[in-house]
Structure 1
Amino acid sequence: MTQILNGFGRRALLGGAALGTGALAMPPVLRAQGAPVRIGLVAVLTGPQAALGTHLRDGFQLGMRHLENRLGGRAAEVLVIDDELRPDAAVTKVRAALERDRCDFIVGVVFSNILAAIIRPVTETQTFLISTNAGPSPIAGRGCSPFFFATSYVNDQNHAVLGAAANDGVEVGGQNRVIRRAVIITPNYQAGRDAAAGFKSTFRGEVLDEIYVPLTTTDFSAELAQIAARRPEGIYTFMPGGLGVQFVRQYRQAGLNIPVLSAFTVDEAVLPAQGESALGLFTGTTWTPTLPNEQNARFVRDFEGQFGYVPASYAAHAYDSAFLLDSAVRRVGGNLADKAALRTAIRAAEFRSVRGPFRFGANHFPVQDFWLARVGRRPDGKSQTEHLRKVFENATDPFAAECRMPAG
């Protein structure tokens, strides 16, 4: 069963029968014994970045469908929360999900500013928060929490992939081109700053300029002219969602022939809108639809069959989160009251990931492989990211050493 919270106190049913008021008023003892596991799924579903949240939502819902809407053998319900990309709205709705709807887990979150807003209200209630995308570095380091896990990455990591790839070179026109001089352009918020830091952490060349733009930018003509004037050998950019659509289109319109290396700028969430403009551009990622393993093949096939579009990493990581919760609830025998046992069960991560082997590091972020990928066209005409080479293997994020996991 899935519900959606679009505003405080208002809900519209996406599937199944609506919950009655009696279910919401169920005494805690009875609820603990027989009520379904409740998951609050947080995603941006309005505005220009809604495509990203739609992938996240659909990926998690496919995971639940594959699990027959059960977690560890217990019936489960998903309440979809539209955070509207507004921290204040996200906090209000998440608090309602915890206090009124008594959600057992909060899952999701595309943007780091939303995660930063809700992490304290969630973890202070000793409710587990599973991020399927956002991974700001402070939460991976000194701000780590025993009630927070991520199935994605630390923001910096995908960007560090591109710095390392630039050093070794990328194939352009059949030739390998090493990038020695680059310009960085990202949005001016935490994840954008993390992106620049991640790229610079591995890039051995010269950064000619760092350009930071507002999240509301739609016209990049001035910035592209500035980049062209610096004559770099490569552009590094992080432009998620609608930002990426505009940037890539305008990059092509400007007639630039500078290799673009990016993270979250060209992915399956925006490729349909970018069209041919994105072909051949590079990205750093933990996952692509082409990774060769059985779980991934099933995920991609069934996702396209169910929703009619190619999934992005937002969907893949959310899909993994459903199986992570299933493994944890199963390991504790359905008893969610023992928080220490449940935390140990989540940390064990006894499930098959679409990425292959999966395990958590000491700060509850994955230890995993990272790939250089490029946008290509499939035989059916659709675009997708395609893995080229493994850049990092079993990588631990650079902030894990700063985490001193609090007890409790």
Structure 2
Amino acid sequence: MIGIGRRGLLGGTTALLAAPAILHAQPAGAVKIGVVAVQTGPQAALGNQLKEGFALGLKHLDGKLGGLTAETVLIDDELKPDVAVTKVRAALERDKVDFIVGVVFSNILQAIMRPVTESGTFLISTNAGPSTFAGRGCNPFFFTTSYNNDQVHSVMGQAAQDNGYRRVFVMVPNYQAGRDAVAGFKSKFRGEVVDEVYVPLTQLDFSAELAKIAAARPDAIFTFMPGGLGVNLVRQYRQAGLAGIPFLSTFTVDEATLPAQGDAALGFYSAASWAPNMDNPQNTRFVNDYVAAHNAVPATYAAQAYDAAMLLDSAIRRVNGNLAGKDALRAAIRAADFRSVRGPFAFGVNHYPVQDFWLLKVGRRADGKLETQTDRKVFTNAVDPWAAECRMR
């Protein structure tokens, strides 16, 4: 996605999730999951969503995966690749976890990929989906329940194209994920980019950039501003009186940032493969129970982690609890025989999902809470652009 606490085990920064678990000798008939979710600093809100989404999945499965009692170890990566590697190695070597699940940021995934997969352990990413592992770098021990990072940004490029916008102002943070976002947007948008502005990741005041937008008078803006950057930009954009210019964004207005953005985000657009208002039984149960437990609307971080729990349950059940046969277990994961909160779900040859993508718009729920809601479907059964380079078959 974006590219780049409790205390207990694994160097003092891991703990059990809210699911039945005993971290002593692993009993027969149990499966142990290492859950990587940042719990330190301002991005902990995203890690908490991931953690709680997976925990809710386990709760709905009565604390079991495929009939095996589920034990979970929470690994706080601290958004530091070297720290993540040390803690994940401990989970693999000392705690003997059977799977590694989670990861919000792509730089953390890139750091832990090799130690996890070289140990013969399956790694299920529930958010980070860099292109480096979608094409030639695809791996038989790696799956993701999210998407390839490029795809979400391309949704907005296609939406801008479909809406007939001819002139778009682009603004992103000045780091690799920001540049990737621009590339993804431009892969579908054929109009004029009137300006391409890169701001520091630490920027809080956007007054100079907003003045540029007002002067350029574009048909729309496209922005990728995660976390606190997005909170400030949305508030200042509304205060500057620019809301008449359509606000197209990725990872800027979502359920993790909306509580802080408030009404300033109403009517602004985002893109995703899932939204809280999707009308299917699995999603209705997931969202209602998450809101009841946390008094907050779940974001994609939670939804994709919930799906990971359901995916593992289906795979372990398919192999009758035999975790030793890696080829059979891989085939069982690839089958994806579960009900996803987003509706249809299947893996492509590179173990990235083949799925629909939606244009979303911030609206208000019946209970007064803000959420992103489906506006229209942009891509159907989309295959990520790197899949053809993957040599797994």
**TM-score after normalising by structure 1:** 0.90
Residue 91 of structure 1: aligned partner: 85
- Report if the CA contact (8 A) 2:14-2:73 is conserved: no
For residues 129 and 13 of structure 2, the distance between their equivalents in structure 1, rounded to whole angstroms, comes to 29
Task: Trace 1:385-404 onto structure 2 (pairs within 5 A).
Answer: 385-404=372-391
- Report if the CA contact (8 A) 1:348-1:359 is conserved: yes
Residue 221 of structure 1: aligned partner: 207
- Report if the CA contact (8 A) 2:32-2:70 is conserved: yes
Residue 11 of structure 2: aligned partner: 8
Residue 23 of structure 2: aligned partner: 19
SS at match of 1:248: helix
Of residues 316, 320, 326 in structure 2, which corresponds to 1:333?
320
Q: CA RMSD in A?
A: 1.8
For residues 215 and 348 of structure 1, the distance between their equivalents in structure 2, rounded to whole angstroms, comes to 40
- Count the aligned residue pairs: 386
What is the CA deviation profile of residues 4-40 of structure 1, one whole-angstrom value per residue up to 9, with x for unaligned ones?
Answer: 65752565455567523xx1xx7xxxx6xx1521111
For residues 66 and 160 of structure 1, the distance between their equivalents in structure 2, rounded to whole angstroms, comes to 34
Of residues 275, 287, 310 in structure 1, which corresponds to 2:262?
275
Residue 3 of structure 2: aligned partner: none
Residue 179 of structure 2: aligned partner: 193
Matched, 1:235 2:221: yes
Closer/same/farther in 2, CA of residues 122 and 303 from structure 1, 3 Å limit: same
Q: 1:217 is matched by which residue type in structure 2? A: Q
Residue 122 of structure 2: aligned partner: 128
How far 1:217 moved relative to its partner? 2.6
- Report if the CA contact (8 A) 2:116-2:123 is conserved: yes
Closer/same/farther in 2, CA of residues 259 and 51 from structure 1, 3 Å limit: same
How far 1:189 moved relative to its partner? 3.2
- Report if the CA contact (8 A) 1:238-1:264 is conserved: yes
Residue 42 of structure 2: aligned partner: 48
For residues 168 and 6 of structure 1, the distance between their equivalents in structure 2, rounded to whole angstroms, comes to 50
SS at match of 2:187: helix
Structure 1 alignment gaps of length 5 or more: 170-177
Task: Trace 1:9-408 onto structure 2 (pairs within 5 A).
Answer: 11-13=14-16, 15=18, 19-20=23-24, 23=25, 34=28, 36-169=30-163, 178-256=164-242, 257-405=244-392
Structure 2 alignment gaps of length 5 or more: 1-5
- Report if the CA contact (8 A) 2:271-2:360 is conserved: yes
How far 1:275 moved relative to its partner? 0.2
Closer/same/farther in 2, CA of residues 10 and 227 from structure 1, 3 Å limit: closer
For residues 162 and 36 of structure 2, the distance between their equivalents in structure 1, rounded to whole angstroms, comes to 38
Runs of 4+ in 1 over 4 A off after TM superposition: 3-7, 9-18
- Report if the CA contact (8 A) 1:375-1:383 is conserved: yes
For residues 22 and 228 of structure 2, the distance between their equivalents in structure 1, rounded to whole angstroms, comes to 34
How far 1:369 moved relative to its partner? 0.5
What is the CA deviation profile of residues 136-190 of structure 1, one whole-angstrom value per residue up to 9, with x for unaligned ones?
Answer: 1121111111111010111111111111111121xxxxxxxx3111122222333
How far 1:51 moved relative to its partner? 1.3
- Matched-pair identity in %: 68
Residue 173 of structure 1: aligned partner: none
For residues 371 and 157 of structure 1, the distance between their equivalents in structure 2, rounded to whole angstroms, comes to 11
Range 9-18 or range 182-191, more displaced: 9-18
For residues 17 and 159 of structure 1, the distance between their equivalents in structure 2, rounded to whole angstroms, comes to 38
How far 1:223 moved relative to its partner? 2.8
SS at match of 1:202: coil
- Report if the CA contact (8 A) 2:22-2:71 is conserved: no
Q: 2:175 is matched by which residue type in structure 1? A: Y
Closer/same/farther in 2, CA of residues 288 and 330 from structure 1, 3 Å limit: same
